[in-house]
Amino acid sequence: MWLAKRSETGENVALKQFPKQSSKGGIDPTAIAELTFGRMLFPKLPGAGGKVSFGLDPSFYPGIKFIARLLDEIEENKDFWLVYEVGSQCLGKHLFEVKGEFYKGERIYLVNHSAPFYSHLKFNKNLLRQLIRRTVEAFRVLSELKIVHADIKPDNLLISYDADR
C-alpha cells in the first residue's frame, strides 16, 4: 500500500499495487476479485466524474460506511493499482507501539501500550462497544455478500480517533 495525493482533487488516497504477471502482462486474479467486490460495494456513478456510491442501502447495512471505499483503478504496463479512500491509522498503531532489535542473534521486541486510544478503550466500555459494533456491522456486509476477508488483523482495521473528542 502506498499513500498518494490525487492530482485532480488534492485528497489523500491509498494505492494498492498489484504487479502484472510478466509473462502475459495479465492482472493478478486477486486484484480482479478485489476490483469486482469493490465495484459491487461501491459502484461508480454514471456521469458523476468517477464518484462512487454505496452499492447497499446504508440504512439497512450501516456497516457499509465503515469499509474503505474503492475509488478507482489504474492500469499501467507493469502494474495494476486500486485506489482507496484513506481511513486513518491502523488499529495496531492506535493500541501499541512495537520496537524490535537484535540481541545475540535473536529479535527482541518491546511493546508499549501507552497510546491514548488504548487507555481510552481500556477504561471506556462505550468506546469498546462502538468499536466492536462497527467492526461487526462491516463484517455483516461482507457476510451478506459471501465475501471472506482472508487477512483480518489489527493492521487491516483502520480507526479514526481523536483523543480530544
Round to whole Å and give the CA distance between 7 and 139.
32
Per-residue pLDDT of the chain (165 residues; tens, 9 = 90+): 888 998 888 888 999 999 987 666 688 888 999 999 999 999 988 766 668 888 889 999 999 999 999 999 999 988 999 999 987 788 888 888 888 888 888 989 888 877 788 888 889 999 999 999 999 999 999 999 898 888 888 888 888 877 666
pTM across the whole model: 0.79
CATH superfamily of 2-85: Phosphorylase Kinase; domain 1 (3.30.200.20)
Round to whole Å and give the CA distance between 137 and 140.
5
Q: What residue spans in the chain does CATH classification 3.30.200.20 cover?
A: 2-85
Q: 11, 26 in Cβ contact below 8 A? A: no
Which residues in the chain belong to E strands, given as ranges?
2-5, 12-19, 70-75, 79-85, 89-90, 97-103, 106-112, 158-159
- Could you tell me what percentage of the chain is helix, strand and coil, using 3-state DSSP and rounding each to the nearest 5? 35, 30, 40
